[in-house]
Chain A
Amino acid sequence: MDIVLRGIVVFIFLFVLVRVMGRRELSSLEPFDLILLIILGDAVQQGLTQDDYSLTGAMLAVGTIAILQVCTSWLNFRLPRLRPLLDGDPIVVVRDGKEIERNLRRERLTSEDLAEAARKQGIGNLDEVAWAVMETSGSISFIKKSDS
């Protein structure tokens, strides 16, 4: 019972943490972020199963996380009103080649970050962009102007 309860607490804690950390951190996976992820996994595991080395314990922990993840995506699918809370909302960061400063600041995105994301999609200049939308996953989608 203890592992299941700890699994629920860890899931909720991580869920809230990821939501408040913002999408900027989610989208990038630099080498340092990768190391942080591994450390995070290790720290969470100790709190989750502690001194339990059993197969049953591991299955309970993983099963709890999996079930909660399924429940979250089911709620996300069935209850559209919960989507902004569970998944977040996209946010427009460029309109007609112009950066929306307020929205960039909200997501802690710099012009350099935006330019880098554009270059990755083969866009050399933001003037070519009609819309840039930061998606709930943290990635940025660019829609080019029709004449470019």
Chain B
Amino acid sequence: MADIPDRIIIKRHLDLEGRRHQIWWRHAIVALLAVFLALGLANVFGQAQSETHADSGPASLQLNAPARLRGGLIFTARFTITAHTDVENALLQLSPGWADGMQINTIEPSPLGEASRNGDLLFTLGHIPAGQKHVLFMGFQVNPTNVGSRPVDVTLYDGGKQLVHLDRTLTVFP
């Protein structure tokens, strides 16, 4: 039999003494990676659309937008307002989380007016006759450095009167 090569220790490199556990570490990390991928498949890291809905007597408000996103993603938020009675002067108020660290690419159809109300974004949509819908689309892109959770609440007013409020949180993964 030939001499044992230099630096090869039979116990460690052939019998794997003290190295048996290493393979389990490897399996554990691969399993962890598989769990991470499964979470990705399950939309834990975005960006599937999710729906939030609120109803009041005069109107209902439905929001369709992702609740979880990642840096750099492009997405659309759809606000559907259904007037059950005449809404004379619909105003849509969005919390600053909608614009903070986001690129607002487009707002369609353009609101009649835009303003700031105590730090929130305020869009004037105008008259929505009873039984009709007003659908507002907003296109965004997430700033890659914009990481974390923030409230993205939406409130619908008729003039000064609050009609519907949606509580929502948006989480951005790095």
Contacts and interface: CB of A to CB of B under 8 A. Distances in A.
Contacts, number: 55
B14 A20 contact: no
A6 B26 CA distance: 24
B2 A145 contact: yes
Give the interface centre of B2, B12, B30, B33 by most chain A CB atoms within 10 Å. B2
B78 to A, nearest CB: 25
A65 interface: no
Contacts of A95: 14
Given A2-B145, A131-B2, A145-B2, A103 B16 contact: yes
Interface residues on A, range: 20 to 34
29 contacts: A2-B145, A6-B174, A19-B26, A20-B30, A22-B26, A50-B72, A50-B144, A51-B144, A84-B19, A89-B13, A89-B19, A90-B8, A91-B16, A92-B8, A92-B10, A92-B13, A100-B14, A102-B16, A103-B14, A103-B16, A130-B1, A130-B2, A131-B4, A131-B5, A131-B8, A133-B8, A141-B5, A143-B2, A144-B2
Interface string A117-132: 0000000000000110
A143 B8 CA distance: 12
Contacts of B144: 2, 50-51
Contacts of B2: 96, 130-131, 143-146
Contact of B5 (A6, A96, A143): A143
